[in-house]
Structure 1
Amino acid sequence: MTMNKRFSLIGTGRIGWALSRLLTDLGWTIDRVDDISEYQLKAYQKHFSSCFTPKHAPSQTACLLICIRDDSFHELIRDLQKKPEWNTPHIIHTSGFHKAEILSPLRTAFQSEIHSFHPMISVIETNPDQGKKLLKKAWWALSGDNPSWMQNMASAWGLQSFLLPDDKKDFYHASAVMTANLIIGILRGAEATASLAGISTEDYEKIFLPLVDSVIDHIHQSGLHKALGGPIVRKDYNLLEREKTALKEAGLTDEYAMYDLLSRYLIQKMSKN
């Protein structure tokens, strides 16, 4: 696939830095960059100073990458429509929540194809090299105007990808929230419960995280539907009721509700397997 290896970027947060490292390591150059934070913008420009496209270089940038907070999209799109210098054949955003179609005003204004490339991974590390490794490890959900172009681009960038219907993205993102965010809520509830056994926060992480790791290992080895162990698999429902009663009597209302809901959910799922 022959392409013009030049990109522009709006948003120099974790994803913007990591994606820039990935692309510049592949020989891409940066045409222009912007961010609402002057501090972050200057830090980015300093770090990638050797990666900018030489002035007066012929031809047009291949794509514009938008790596910003979900609540900033509408304002940015309004502003970009007034800035033809950002015009490019392809516009890509990396939000997991927003559909590609949110960029439709730019499709009209710039005659661009619009796309969403979302990495299914948590990028908390701000080091661009570590961020790049995470992006390479992730599966990317692609949605938008041109499936063939998206798949070719993802392949050229060395990314694992799959096509996602744009109108199904709400369900995709909800599943991501359950997988990456709500599981933290469960662990926080378990931490609060363990505190009544005299286990501190620090000791909880030391003692219980190996248990979490072992469950993840079981999922890798046997699959999600065969990784469950403990009282639900044994159908020891008396134990479950006794522990729910203990939580309720201890005043752990939220933890009781969590335990009750999820144990009933898993029992129901097990009965269908």
Structure 2
Amino acid sequence: MNESPGRCVVVGTGRAGAAFSRALAATGWVVTSVPARPITANTASQKELTELAEQVALADVVLIAVSDTAIETVAAALPGSSALYLHASGASGLDLLAPHQRVGSLHPLMSLPDAETGARRLLDHCTFAIDGDPLLRDIVESLGGQAVEVAPSQRVAYHAAATIAANHLTALCAQIERLAEEVGVPVAAYWSMMSNTLDNVAARGAADALTGPAARADWVTIRAHLAALPSDDDRRLYRACCAAAARLAGHQVPADIDGP
């Protein structure tokens, strides 16, 4: 039997914390999961604090998997040790972990919708943005992932791109769901089209993969689309994406399409 990579205390039992706990345990880490709420709310009992101190003292890694606004509070409340203290935030720097000597950040470039799905994705050749202690690369390797160093000055821009890729895409999917239902076309047909589009982008790059009326500067069709959309919200979203697509194709966008 292979030797365990080490001991890890995961602070935070939400979707990210639970996914990391499962993924690390599946690869042999000895994992202890600790809820963050008693720490952030300052309601932890003396017994809980003593147990936490004992767990941290034995740990090789302490992973803080909480919201960005809670990282500093949790880090300051955790007892010090020789462990590597990490947070799982994409946008935050290492300054939030300042009370501790060995620090780093480990952010999966992957959406984690629930513990089971998230753990599976973390173990499926996931890309992790890292910064800090060299041990981070060993942690990523133990998960079967790929480590990419993102400098502190670039972390916010990196996370903005991740937000666009995940959250903004989801907002577009919500618009497609609404319109598919209205016109009576199975939404799965649109998902298939989107999947093919992502394959094209991956193979050729966004500019070469672009098709449709914006790529052709077909303003007549685009204006017809805008007139057919059922709400002002749908038109605003369509207009913004269409104008961006047209500029990607190198076209001068008419004011009535490029407007607010």
Shorter-chain TM-score above 0.5:
yes
Could you state the TM-score of these two structures normalised by the residue count of structure 1? Answer: 0.74
Alignment match of 1:225 (pick from 189, 207, 213):
207
Corresponding residue for 2:191? 209
Structure 1 residue 113 displacement after superposition: 1.4
- Aligned-CA RMSD value: 2.8
Rounded Cα–Cα distance in structure 2 between residues aligned with 1:240 and 1:60: 62
1:187/1:78 Cα in 2 relative to 1: closer, same or farther (>3 Å)?
same
Given that 1:4 and 1:61 are in contact with CA atoms closer than 8 Å, whether structure 2 keeps it comes out as: no
Residue 271 of structure 1: SS of its match in structure 2? coil
- Deviation digits for residues 200-247 of structure 1 (CA, Å, limit 9, x no counterpart): xxx552332222222122223333332221112233222112222333
1:96 — aligned with what? 90
Map of 1:246 onto structure 2: 228
The CA distance in 1 between the partners of 2:155 and 2:147, in whole Å, is: 15
Give the count of matched residue pairs. 232
- C-alpha distance in 1 between matches for 2:207 and 2:82: 45
Partner of 2:129: 141
Please name the residue that 2:45 is paired with: none
Aligned position for 2:234 = 255
Counterparts in 2 of 1:11 and 1:214: CA distance versus 1, 3 Å: same
CA spacing shift, 1:266–1:241, aligned 2, 3 Å: same
| AA partner of residue 113 (structure 2) | I
Aligned residues of 1:101 and 1:114 also touching (Cα < 8 A): no
Residue matched to 1:126: 115
Return the TM-score normalized by structure 2: 0.77
* 2:66 maps to 1:68: yes
Which one-letter code corresponds to 2:16 in the other structure?
I
Shift in Å, 1:4:
6.6
Deviation larger for 253-262 or 183-192: 183-192
Aligned partner letter, 1:206: A
Kindly state the Cα deviation for residue 72 of structure 1 after the two structures are TM-superposed.
2.2
Is the partner of 2:130 in helix, strand or coil? strand
**Structure 1 gap ranges (5+):** 39-55
Partner of 2:11: 10
Partner in structure 2 of residue 161 of structure 1: 147
Q: Matches of 2:17 and 2:178 in 1, distance apart?
A: 36
Q: Which moved more, 1:204-213 or 1:161-170?
A: 204-213
Deviations 1:125-182, CA, capped at 9 Å, x for gaps? 322xx433301232100013x3x33224322442211000012111111111111001
Q: Percent of pairs identical after alignment?
A: 22
Residue number in structure 1 paired with 2:51: none
